[in-house]
Structure 1
Amino acid sequence: MEFNILEICLLTALCICFFVHLYYVIGVHAKLVGYRIADLPNSTSQPLSVVICARNERENLEKYLPSVFEQDYPNFEVVVVNDRSWDGTADFLETLQKKYSNLKVVHVAEGEKFIAGKKFAATMGIKAASHEWLVFTDADCEPATKNWLKGMQTPADNQVDILLGYSPYFKKRSLLNALIRFETFFTAVNYLSFALKGMPYMGVGRNMAYKKSLFFKNKGFAAHMHIPSGDDDLFVNANATPVNTIIQIHKDTHVWSEPKNSFLSYLRQKKRHIGAGNLYKTKHKFILSTQIAVQFFFYALAITLACFPRTHFIAFGVFLFSLMVRCFVYPQLLKCLNYGELRWWFPILDIILMAFLVFNAILSIFVKKVQWK
């Protein structure tokens, strides 16, 4: 069977995309499949500070903050930054201080100078923290178990400055929730796998930790204080190295979080993330952009070639082989990262997610304004 020039070019492009995509699946993400999750230590080492920023989060603080104080850890404080709330957060925290002696409250007043969204609040919390090791989470988050801080405590290796945890979203019965959880899963697989590969590029503020001295040594968020997002991923992107960064994905250390409940609010959230991603190191932007572009063109080329009578069997075969490889890797990771039930919907959600990422990227070109809350 002879192919014309157009078919040869398209088939060549499909093969290139296939092999590059295969690199990300087998060369990067499969590292997480083979990662040995160590048991949590029975003992605790150094005291630590949990830092939580809250803006109009009284309802979530009432629901989830007690689980932080119930941690099986002998010496820790909880620093809650009340960032200009008007929903009664201040009153609730004042009441809670009478119950928990290890609660420290920091108030950010209206009109405070140099306010830049969550980053100003986080900086105030870090300054107020009494201990060197800082563990971060959000007001709408709940640790999976009482052993969360045992797993997120100061690592035995003194060279480690940053510890990247994992934070899944609560399950709800909707297609939007499935999409949010699936996108979060792939984001986590990416940053955790690249960290194992010696190229840490981000973390999530819902569950991560680092040294207070690292923050001030590198001038905190000064390099990106002008944008409202990036208090977590941009800080890691600027300061993480192959030597000073490790991961923690033991199921007892997962921190569950409330997902967005509307498509519009989810779009706003992803818009903030894209804004932060624009300030990643050049090599990280190239790797991540290539990853998304290759996957998009792989789908597009496979569909296009499937429409040609002389190439449809080849296109179908390449796509099927790619799907088989991914179905070997990702269902294992979905189970490991507390999203096991999504593995049955993996092929469908993979296509939906690809379409959403393209849509969101196009939308971000026209919608510029973002804010924390």
Structure 2
Amino acid sequence: MVFEILLIAFATVTLLQFLYYIVFFGRFSFAKKHEAKTKKIPISVIVCAKNEAENVKKFVPLLLEQNYPDYEVVLIDDASSDETRELFEYFEKQNTKVKLVKVDNNEAFWGNKKYALTLGIKAAKNEYLLFTDGDCYPNSNNWITEMTAHLTMHKTIVLGYGAYEKVKNSFLNKIIRFETLLTATQYFAWAKMGQPYMGVGRNLAYKKEEFFKVRGFMDHMKIRSGDDDLFINQAANKQNTTICFSEDSFTYSEPRKTFKEWFNQKRRHVSTAKHYKAFDKFQLGLFFFTQISFFLLAVILLAFQYQWMIVLPIVVFRYIFTWLSLGFAAGKLKEKDVMYWFPFIEIFLIFTQLNVFITNIFSKPVHWK
């Protein structure tokens, strides 16, 4: 009787996974690329950096070489203790496109990136804003062109893809890029279904009006993280949000080099997600539940060889449709190589995420300093 219940539960979980991967994620995975008409909207590129001297030295020049007729680059130094501010001052003197915003330590908002970003947004002269981070660089000099092409009178929020660099012979790098692929597949798909719930500050565009419409970051200012996903969770909706995933629109950043660094990064992301809207928390929680339940139930049923002639085909079927869905998404986002390791990475990622949940219960993650 117990094993019959477990088998029914296993089949149900697999069905839910099919709905997620094929019906929901498929809205992005199997979607045709939408060619948007190039525009010449005046744009303010906003970069917030804290102690990123080495990165901004390399990446700010790439922002100033963009093939776009009308834009400024707002560089925000968030009370850096290294040479970041001096470099920003140099770029401001050398190029009329650059506007520098200096943020000093504020006791009420110390260490809060949202405070620094708010000052930068207010200083931007243009109505349309394009965001990236100090440790990121655009994949091409058409980055601004590609992202702004999707802005319209009604679509005033554009979710882009923030990728990580590939590192040869690094399994951790494949894990990081697979997680980034899976996360992007999810938020792109839900946005296409009219239920946008997050975006990434490494590559995000929106109209200044959307920022002030929800009082900026005020409703979650005390939460150190979430300048990107909590804002999108609050401001984005079916009418005002669209996505951009052309290769020239990608941004790249250097991934974490050690498991500890990446684990701590994941802890910050997970702690932020608990502040999402109720439906978004539910669908993300249900997805994770079906993932871990599938593996646990499959192991139990196969270990006891209960109806293995039914269980095994279900397992194979599940891997076929997940590989198919994520494979098409990986093709769009230029991450195909991680799919060769998909089964191993997925299992590792699921139980790492479980570890993150448990760890966050007993201690708080460290945020932007």
Please report the TM-score for the alignment, with normalisation by the length of structure 2: 0.97
Structure 2 counterpart of 1:219? 215
| 2:251 pairs with 1:272 | no
Structure 2 counterpart of 1:306? 302
Structure 1 counterpart of 2:12? 16
15-24 vs 308-317, which moves further = 308-317
Partners in 2 of 1:369 and 1:255 — Cα distance? 26
| 2:76 pairs with 1:81 | yes
| 2:177 pairs with 1:185 | no
| Preserved contact between residue 132 and residue 204 of structure 2 (Cα < 8 Å) | yes
| 2:199 pairs with 1:206 | no
Q: Which amino acid aligns with 1:95?
A: Y
Percent identity, aligned pairs only?
A: 38
| Preserved contact between residue 81 and residue 108 of structure 1 (Cα < 8 Å) | yes
Partners in 2 of 1:362 and 1:312 — Cα distance? 33
Partners in 2 of 1:364 and 1:15 — Cα distance? 31
Please, which runs of 5 or more residues in structure 1 have no aligned partner? none
Structure 2 counterpart of 1:59? 54
How much does 1:90 deviate? 1.3
How much does 1:278 deviate? 0.8
SS of aligned partner of 1:168? strand
Q: Which amino acid aligns with 1:317?
A: P
How much does 1:258 deviate? 1.2
| Preserved contact between residue 303 and residue 315 of structure 1 (Cα < 8 Å) | no
How much does 1:155 deviate? 3.9
Alpha-carbon spacing, 1:128–1:112, altered in 2? closer, same or farther (3 Å): farther
| Preserved contact between residue 44 and residue 73 of structure 1 (Cα < 8 Å) | no
Partners in 2 of 1:47 and 1:118 — Cα distance? 25
Q: Deviations over 1:248-285 (max 9, x none)?
A: 00111011111111211112211111111011000110
Partners in 2 of 1:309 and 1:179 — Cα distance? 31
Q: Give the alignment partner of residue 128 of structure 1, picking from 123, 127, 152.
A: 123
Aligned length: 368
Partners in 1 of 2:277 and 2:106 — Cα distance? 33
Q: Give the alignment partner of residue 242 of structure 1, picking from 238, 249, 258.
A: 238
Q: Which amino acid aligns with 1:201?
A: Y
Q: Deviations over 1:208-256 (max 9, x none)?
A: 1111111112100111111110000000000111111000001110111
Partners in 2 of 1:206 and 1:269 — Cα distance? 14
SS of aligned partner of 1:256? strand
Please, which runs of 5 or more residues in structure 2 have no aligned partner? none
How much does 1:33 deviate? 2.4
Return structure 1 stretches of 4+ with deviation > 4 angstroms: none
Please report the TM-score for the alignment, with normalisation by the length of structure 1: 0.96
| Preserved contact between residue 150 and residue 244 of structure 2 (Cα < 8 Å) | no
How much does 1:116 deviate? 5.2
Structure 2 counterpart of 1:322? 318
Q: Which amino acid aligns with 1:56?
A: N
1:120-199 correspondence to structure 2 within 5 Å? 120-153=115-148, 155=150, 157-173=152-168, 174-199=170-195
Partners in 2 of 1:317 and 1:359 — Cα distance? 30
Alpha-carbon spacing, 1:27–1:115, altered in 2? closer, same or farther (3 Å): same
Partners in 2 of 1:175 and 1:75 — Cα distance? 42
336-345 vs 238-247, which moves further = 336-345
Q: Give the alignment partner of residue 351 of structure 1, picking from 347, 350, 356.
A: 347
Partners in 2 of 1:46 and 1:333 — Cα distance? 29
How much does 1:342 deviate? 1.4
